[in-house]
Amino acid sequence: MKPHRLHREAEEEYVVAAEHYARINPALGIRFYEEIERLIADVRARPTLYRRHVGDIRRHFSTEFPYGVLYHDRSDHVWILAVIPMRRAPDYWLHRL
């Protein structure tokens, strides 16, 4: 399994979303955290499995929450560029490249 790194803005998105769900219900916040961690583990284990989105950037979406992760498979790690809410403009994160 490859190590991973989160872009600073992706980490902020992750925290804000987890806090949002935790305010609704603490158990929901935990479920959200576990789901995003599962997505990250999936891409770390099989980084080339998921569909390309823009160039070499790939995406893996949750079936439980309206979120996904966008990432770049680098030679030594998986770089998580966004923890993307599906309701947001789809290319808002492009400046992170």
Quote the distance between the C-alpha of residue 67 and its chain's center. Answer: 7
Which residues of the chain, if any, have pLDDT below 50?
A: none
Q: What is the pLDDT of residue 49?
A: 96
Number of H helices, E strands in the chain: 2, 5
Q: What is the pLDDT of residue 1?
A: 92
Pairing between β-strand 4-6 and β-strand 78-85 as defined by DSSP bridges: parallel
Q: Which pTM was predicted?
A: 0.89
Question: Using an 8 Å Cβ cutoff, are 9 and 96 in contact?
Answer: yes
Domains of the chain: 4-85 (3.30.2310.20)
